[in-house]
Amino acid sequence: MSKTTDKSREAWLAKAKTLSEALPYLRRYAGKTFVVKYGGHAMGDDSVTETFARDVVLLKQVGINPIVVHGGGPQIGQMLERLKIKSSFIDGLRVTDRDTVEIVEMVLSGSINKQIVAAINAAGGLAVGLSGKDGNLIQARKLKRTRRETDSNIEKILDLGFVGEPRRINPKILATFAASDIIPVIAPIGVGSQGETYNINADTVAGAVAGAVNAARLVLLTDVAGVLDKSGRLISEMTIDEARGLIRDGTIHGGMIPKIETCISAVEENAEAAVILDGRAPHAVLVEIFTERGAGTLISAG
């Protein structure tokens, strides 16, 4: 019995020590806004979602204002497959025609958004789901992409359909939530000038929101630990200039490039810093925010 008691006491002391070490960070970030993008394959794991929801509620309880932006690419693909709607990609972006955008909106603003809202509420928070259409939160325009033909060297305009990019973020509605107990959960659906619906990359939306609200942190939860150097080791911190240099020399490549570009854009638009984390790691957000070492790759102005 005494051994069990001693072990329990050690565990309690360890928890108390952790809380004590977190105090400077609690004081530093009190009243600050954190934009957290939740996506990737971690969204399909109920236990990961439950842990994520508890962490978000904790942020709100200690005085931080979390704003959650979520993705849902795999879930959209599954629904399109069930409905036998063919889908194609150009440069990693889903070509979205009128039929597809209706399904995208249904999945993002409907089932996924409400699942995350329900998880946060079950963890003791008070979450409200939104899409970019609500309160004209995300005013969007059609995303324009070009591709240069290798044979003719002619630049060709690509038509991605109803794929958009943020034109303006309306921060007023988010300021209202920040002054309350409510945690906003945003689906990356934008509205065009004629009321049309646009499917927008969730990372891009999170970055635009972080810049618009002058967030202390943009947190991108992904399926990787962060940015790795050419030896496969995690780079814990870098400036914007260093990040651009790593893109030029090929250290940052593939799907990591648009994520880094989103982080750079957010910081240049007045977010204090951005960080890329592995969303599958337990309590990754808390480790990043409340410990000296952090858990991922931090990008700052320098």
The tokens of 130 are what? Answer: 């939104």
Of residues 214, 222, 181, the one with CA closest to residue 70: 222
Of all residues in the chain, what percent carry a pLDDT higher than 90? Answer: 49
Q: For residue 82, is pLDDT > 90?
A: no
Rounded average pLDDT over 220-233:
88
Tell me the pLDDT band of 1, cut-offs 50, 70 and 90. Answer: very low
The pTM assigned to this predicted structure is 0.87
Between 260 and 10, the higher pLDDT residue: 260
How many whole angstroms separate alpha carbon 117 and alpha carbon 32?
21
Give the CATH number for residue 112.
3.40.1160.10
Q: Which of 34-38, 254-258, 278-282 has the lowest mean pLDDT?
A: 278-282
Q: Is residue 36 part of a domain?
A: yes
Q: Is residue 6 part of a domain?
A: no
Q: Is residue 288 part of a domain?
A: yes
Q: Is residue 5 part of a domain?
A: no
pLDDT tens, residue by residue, 111-170: 899 999 999 999 999 999 999 999 999 999 998 776 655 565 556 567 778 889 999 999
Q: For residue 182, is pLDDT > 90?
A: yes
Q: Is residue 53 part of a domain?
A: yes
CA distances to 35, 145, 207, 267, 281 from 273, in Å: 11, 27, 11, 6, 21
Q: Is residue 229 part of a domain?
A: yes
Q: Is residue 71 part of a domain?
A: yes
> What was the pLDDT predicted at 207?
96
Range of the domain at 112: 30-300
The tokens of 221 are what? Answer: 């939860």
Angle at CA 221, nearest 5°, toward 172 and 27?
Answer: 60
If one counts the domains in the chain, the total is 1
Q: What is the mean pLDDT of the chain?
A: 86
DSSP string, 56-68: HHHHHHTT-EEEE
